[in-house]
């Protein structure tokens, strides 16, 4: 089994700050760093051991480095980090796109050390002040591997997810992760931005604001956050987002055409009646949180001596999550 590694956290925004607070709450030995002096001061006031620079963090000799930098900064962070850490150090990012990030890790010489992770949690707020120890607890984390990912690096990340965050891990390839997240995160950000801009740009914006209630608030919540963050993740995942938008545009164009041709008598049931039992379940379980019913439930075991990367990512495509691991292998639910 994995013993608690020494950890370095790079970046103390919403996600990095929440990880740091969670590590502190669990009594894990770690140090952290953020390029912003004000953020470091805020972190120290919250009893987070923030170092003054990246070199100082590296002197701590972390065995697991959690990179929680913005996507637009990730490439530069990897380049700066690579000469400072041991080849045996596990490097994991917690961003919302994986394909380009793995390529940046490889460019920096960190390809063998890299594992992707993405906690499926967050808020529209940003920064260390918005972070909390419970934000990333008991949620589903995506963990991405390839066929060359060493077992030891995967185990450290699974330890972080299962033991520290008390969550479960959906193992995926980078491509499967990016396409799935485009559907349930990146496209919703695009649609929310469009809906909000369309209402605010209308001559009836004043009336719309006065009448807006729950459905509008829920549908536009993510558009009220950091627009630069949304832009960065959509650009980084452009192929998957573009494909999703093309499908949506085709459906919306068909709907508009039907409404124009038939007005009130249009048969548009095809658009609104597409929800089946699985779609209803997707909406009902949108938190992704493990339930108490998960305890003791086992659907599959994958041995480390098997093609664990391939078998686990194939299970992840079906929604099968890792809920435990030991010296023999992985337990999936």
Q: CATH code at 108?
A: 3.40.50.720
Whether the pLDDT of residue 296 is over 80: the answer is: no
If phi > 0 it is left, if psi is from -120 to 50 it is alpha, else beta; for residue 138 that is left
Residue 268: pLDDT band (50, 70, 90) is confident
Residues 266 and 146 reside in one and the same domain: no
pLDDT bin (cut points 50, 70, 90) of residue 122 is confident
> Residues 45, 147: one domain?
yes
**Has residue 14 been placed in a domain?**
yes
The pTM of the whole model exceeds 0.85: yes
Q: How far is CA 63 from the centre of its chain?
A: 22
More confident of the two residues 176 and 4: 176
In a domain, residue 227? The reply is yes
If asked whether residues 210 and 305 sit together in one domain, one would say no
Assess whether pLDDT exceeds 80 at residue 289.
no
- pLDDT band for 276, please (50, 70, 90 cuts): low
- The mean pLDDT of 88-101, rounded to a whole number, is 97
Q: How confident is the model at residue 174 (pLDDT cuts 50, 70, 90)?
A: very high
User: Which candidate, 74, 99, 70, 100, places its Cα nearest to that of 91?
Assistant: 74
Res 10: pLDDT: 98
Domain region containing 267: 178-284
Closest CA to 78 of 157, 10, 154, 173: 10
**Is residue 192 assigned to a domain?**
yes
Query: In which band, very low, low, confident or very high, does the pLDDT at 241 lie, cut at 50, 70 and 90?
Result: very high
Tokens representing residue 198 in the block: 């369309």
Q: Decide which of 262 and 93 is more confident.
A: 93
Provide the 3-class DSSP secondary structure of residue 73: helix
Boundary of a domain, candidates 284, 300, 323: 284
Is pLDDT of 288 > 70? no
Confidence of residue 261 (pLDDT cuts 50, 70, 90): confident
Binned at pLDDT 50, 70 and 90, residue 207 comes out as very high
Both structure tokens of 9: 């956290």
pLDDT bin (cut points 50, 70, 90) of residue 294 is low
Number of separate domains in the chain: 2
**Choice among 37-51, 95-109, 122-136 with the minimum mean pLDDT:** 122-136
Cβ contacts of residue 37 below 8 Å, gap of 6+? none
CB-based contact 233:96 (threshold 8 Å): yes
The residue that leads in pLDDT, 12 or 300, is 12
Task: Compute the average pLDDT of residues 244-251.
Answer: 96
Q: Is residue 143 part of a domain?
A: yes
> Does any domain span residue 156?
yes
The token pair at 210 is 């006065």
**Is 160 among the domain residues?**
yes
For residue 267, give both structure tokens: 């048969």
Instruction: Determine the Cα–Cα distance for residues 163 and 213; give it in Å rounded to an integer.
Output: 40
- Please report how the helices 227-236 and 238-262 are oriented relative to each other, as an axis angle in degrees rounded to 10: 100
Alpha carbon distances (Å) from 185 to 120, 180, 182, 289:
9, 8, 6, 16
- Range in 107-111, 125-129, 243-247, 283-287 the model is least confident about: 283-287
249 burial type by CB count under 10 A (0-12 exposed, 13-18 middle, 19+ buried): exposed
Q: Do 326 and 192 sit in the same domain of this protein?
A: no
Say if residue 285's pLDDT is above 70: no
The shares of helix, strand and coil residues in the chain, as percent rounded to the nearest 5, are 55, 15, 35
DSSP H or E stretch at residue 333: none
For residues 145 and 113, give the distance between their C-alpha atoms in angstroms, rounded to a whole number. 11
Cα–Cα distance between 66 and 33 in angstroms, integer? Answer: 11
pLDDT digits (tens, 9 = 90+) for 23-77: 999 999 999 999 999 999 999 999 999 999 999 999 999 999 999 999 999 999 9
Distance CA 10, CA 276 (A): 42
Average pLDDT over residues 279-305: 64
Q: Using the CB atoms, write b or e for 226-241: b if 16+ within 10 Å.
A: beebbebbbebbeebb
When mean pLDDT is compared across 70-74, 196-200, 296-300, the lowest value belongs to 296-300
Confidence check: pLDDT of 283 > 90: no
Alpha carbon distance 214, 230 (integer Å): 22
Q: Does residue 1 sit within a domain?
A: no
**pLDDT confidence tier of residue 83, bands split at 50, 70 and 90:** very high
C-alpha pair distances (Å), 90 with each of 47, 81, 122: 25, 12, 24
Instruction: Return d(Cα 211, Cα 200) in angstroms, integer.
Output: 13
Tokens standing for residue 243: 């494909």
CATH number, domain with residue 243: 1.10.3660.10
163 and 301 inside one domain:
yes
Least trusted range by pLDDT, from 99-108, 169-178, 226-235: 226-235
pLDDT at 319: 94
244, 305: one domain = no
pLDDT of residue 275: 72
- 42-51, 209-218, 283-292: which range is least confident on average? 283-292
Q: CA angle, 232 as apex, 227 and 238 as ends, to 5°?
A: 120
In a domain, 133, yes or no: yes
């Amino acid at each position: 089994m994995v013993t608690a590694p020494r950890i370095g956290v790079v970046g103390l925004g919403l996600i990095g700050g929440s990880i740091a607070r969670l590590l502190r709450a669990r009594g894990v030995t770690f140090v952290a760093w953020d390029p912003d002096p004000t953020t470091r001061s805020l972190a120290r006031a919250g009893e987070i051991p923030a170092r003054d620079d990246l070199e100082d963090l590296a002197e701590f000799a972390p065995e697991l480095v959690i990179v929680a930098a913005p996507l637009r900064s990730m490439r530069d962070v990897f380049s700066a980090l690579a000469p400072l850490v041991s080849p045996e150090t596990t490097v994991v990012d917690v961003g919302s796109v994986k394909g380009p990030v793995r390529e940046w890790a490889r460019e920096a010489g960190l390809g063998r050390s890299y594992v992707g992770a993405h906690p499926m949690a967050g808020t529209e707020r940003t920064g260390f002040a918005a972070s909390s120890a419970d934000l990333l607890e008991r949620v589903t984390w995506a963990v991405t591997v390839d066929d060359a990912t060493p077992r030891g690096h995967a185990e450290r990340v699974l330890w972080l997810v299962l033991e520290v965050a008390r969550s479960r891990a959906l193992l995926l390839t980078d491509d499967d992760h990016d396409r799935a997240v485009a559907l349930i995160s990146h496209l919703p950000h695009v649609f929310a931005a469009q809906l909000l801009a369309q209402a605010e740009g209308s001559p009836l914006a004043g009336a719309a604001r006065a009448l807006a209630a729950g459905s509008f608030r829920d549908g536009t919540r993510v558009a009220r956050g950091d627009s630069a963050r949304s832009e960065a993740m959509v650009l980084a995942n452009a192929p998957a987002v573009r494909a999703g938008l093309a499908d949506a545009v085709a459906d919306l164009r068909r709907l508009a055409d039907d409404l124009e041709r038939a007005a009130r008598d249009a048969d548009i049931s095809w658009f609104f009646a597409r929800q089946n039992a699985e779609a209803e379940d997707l909406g009902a379980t949108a938190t992704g949180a493990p339930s108490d019913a998960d305890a003791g439930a086992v659907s599959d075991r994958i041995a480390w001596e098997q093609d664990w990367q391939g078998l686990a990512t194939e299970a992840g495509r079906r929604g099968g999550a890792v809920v435990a691991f030991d010296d023999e292998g992985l337990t999936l639910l």
